[in-house]
């Protein structure tokens, strides 16, 4: 009589980069004959992949750990393991404060976690070390770099994930081909700063080499670029938005601010005019290009004048997609040396002001699409028998959606005529 396989529930918090780490670990667990269950209550062991990027993310991580800790106290689970950015950076403190956790691991400790759970050595090169997607099977993230060399004054990522390490070009192509062969139709290229790809390789390469190679993969429909640093967005990459077949005209390019004083203090390497030149170059190469960005309000020293420069910039550029963060002081970063002198309520008021402005811009752009017919990718079905999809303008989870009547095959492209529009949603009918 054989022992029943251990049941493991993996909770993944934070960004898409964390999600890829969870997928790699999950693949290793499956190959090691663990039984993967969705609900922590049904598991023998719970693994939590934490995010430590912002205070709100750390609070969420602690909350989820405590919930799992309660399950262990009640005897519903046997073991609790914590990994990821939060654990990487604050493991020593967390060990003292969260005794209900059996073991803490960092962001790169997949093999150690497998060894801990199985009691036998595991290395990343083992044949039983495979990635198992947590996304729907028709799209997946391709993480081409780990870590970051930029040293932005507000960002703790280099402290948690280390300096940049680029994946070899051959690995990027092989992984993308494997994903496409498994049914993936859309690959989302990610990294801490994708536009710095290859600077650390020998011979030195650039992001343009990755995009060029991925664009040649048969069966791939959409190739999407995330986390492009405007200061490092090379003209060769910009040109590719006008000539590569599978690279969708979409770029996620966080600008963070528009005041030269604040940008300099943030150590972003590019001022307002430099950012505008990148935006103009992208729109010249492909007038259809969709620009997603993120900005930070309430950074130390941000005056009303600085904020108004940012507001005016957002109003003039008319980004297609935009997220706003309020500044939070991160231990160990350069900005800690500056006095966090913007009151919390002012930060929230400024965030609301930018978001309301962006909602208006987004609504106007969506209303301009009413009557048009476009190809969309179906992501899911709704409880009432309808479908949810995306245009090329939208990345999963973070951007707009298209609601379509009827159940259309998930992972398939269909033509849809847009009939209604909201700030973050289009409604259409299949044609």
Residue 240, CA atoms < 13 Å, CB-side half-sphere:
25
pLDDT confidence tier of residue 213, bands split at 50, 70 and 90: very high
pLDDT confidence tier of residue 171, bands split at 50, 70 and 90: very high
Mean per-residue pLDDT, 154-181: 92
pLDDT of the residue at 387: 95
Mean pLDDT lowest for which of 97-111, 191-205, 227-241?
97-111
Paired strand residues for 403: 388, 427
Of residues 163 and 263, more confidently modeled? 263
Count, in order, helices (H) and strands (E) of the chain. Answer: 12, 18
184 burial type by CB count under 10 A (0-12 exposed, 13-18 middle, 19+ buried): buried
pLDDT of the residue at 10: 93
pLDDT, one tens digit per residue, over 116-153 is 888 877 655 554 457 788 889 999 999 999 999 998 99
Mean per-residue pLDDT, 58-67: 91
Mean per-residue pLDDT, 389-417: 96
The mean of the pLDDT values for the chain is 92
Give pTM, 2 decimals: 0.84
pLDDT at 319 exceeding the cut of 70 = yes
Of 356, 300, 281, 372, nearest in space to 324 by CA: 356
Kindly give the pairing relationship between strand 222-225 and strand 186-190: parallel
Mean per-residue pLDDT, 63-72: 92
Mean per-residue pLDDT, 217-221: 97
- Give the chain's domains with CATH numbers: 7-118 (3.40.50.12160), 139-367 (3.80.30.20), 373-430 (2.40.50.140)
Contact 38, 149 (CB under 8 A): no
pLDDT, one tens digit per residue, over 34-51 is 899 999 999 999 999 998
pLDDT of the residue at 3: 67
């Amino acid at each position: 009589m054989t022992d029943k396989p251990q049941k493991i529930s993996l909770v993944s918090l934070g960004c898409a980069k964390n999600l890829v780490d969870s997928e790699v670990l999950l693949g290793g667990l499956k190959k090691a004959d663990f039984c993967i269950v969705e609900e922590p209550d049904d598991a023998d062991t719970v693994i939590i992949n934490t995010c430590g990027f912002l205070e709100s993310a750390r609070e969420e991580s602690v909350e989820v750990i405590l919930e799992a800790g309660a399950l262990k106290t009640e005897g519903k689970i046997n073991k609790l393991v914590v990994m990821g950015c939060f654990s990487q950076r604050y493991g020593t403190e967390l060990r003292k404060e969260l005794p209900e956790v059996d073991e803490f691991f960092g962001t790169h400790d997949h093999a150690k976690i497998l060894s801990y759970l199985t009691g036998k050595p595991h290395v990343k090169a083992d044949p039983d070390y495979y990635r198992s997607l947590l996304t729907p099977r028709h799209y997946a993230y391709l993480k081409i770099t780990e870590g970051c060399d930029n040293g932005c004054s507000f960002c703790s990522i280099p402290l948690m994930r280390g300096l940049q390490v680029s994946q070899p070009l051959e690995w990027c192509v092989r992984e993308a081909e494997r994903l496409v062969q498994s049914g993936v139709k859309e690959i989302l290229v990610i990294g801490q700063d994708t536009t710095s790809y290859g600077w650390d390789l020998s011979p030195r390469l650039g992001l343009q080499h990755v995009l060029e190679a991925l664009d040649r993969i048969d069966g791939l429909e959409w190739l999407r670029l995330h986390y492009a640093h405007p200061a490092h967005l090379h003209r060769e990459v910009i040109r590719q938005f006008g000539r590569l077949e599978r690279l969708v005209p979409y770029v996620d390019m966080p600008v963070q601010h528009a005041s030269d004083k604040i940008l300099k203090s943030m150590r972003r390497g590019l001022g307002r005019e430099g950012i505008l030149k990148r935006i103009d170059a992208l729109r010249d190469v492909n007038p259809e290009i969709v620009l997603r960005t993120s900005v930070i309000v309430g950074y130390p020293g941000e005056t009303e004048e600085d904020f108004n420069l940012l507001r005016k910039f957002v109003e003039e550029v008319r980004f297609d997609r935009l997220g706003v963060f309020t500044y939070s002081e991160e231990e160990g970063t350069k900005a800690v040396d500056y006095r966090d002198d913007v009151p919390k309520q002012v930060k929230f008021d400024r965030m609301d002001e930018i978001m309301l402005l962006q909602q208006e811009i987004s609504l106007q752009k969506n209303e301009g699409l009413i009557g048009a017919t476009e190809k969309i990718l179906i992501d899911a079905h709704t409880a009432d028998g309808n479908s949810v999809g995306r245009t090329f303008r939208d990345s999963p989870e973070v951007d707009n959606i298209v609601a379509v009547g009827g159940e259309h095959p998930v992972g398939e492209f269909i033509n849809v005529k847009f009939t209604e529009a909201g700030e973050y949603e289009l409604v259409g009918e299949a044609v």
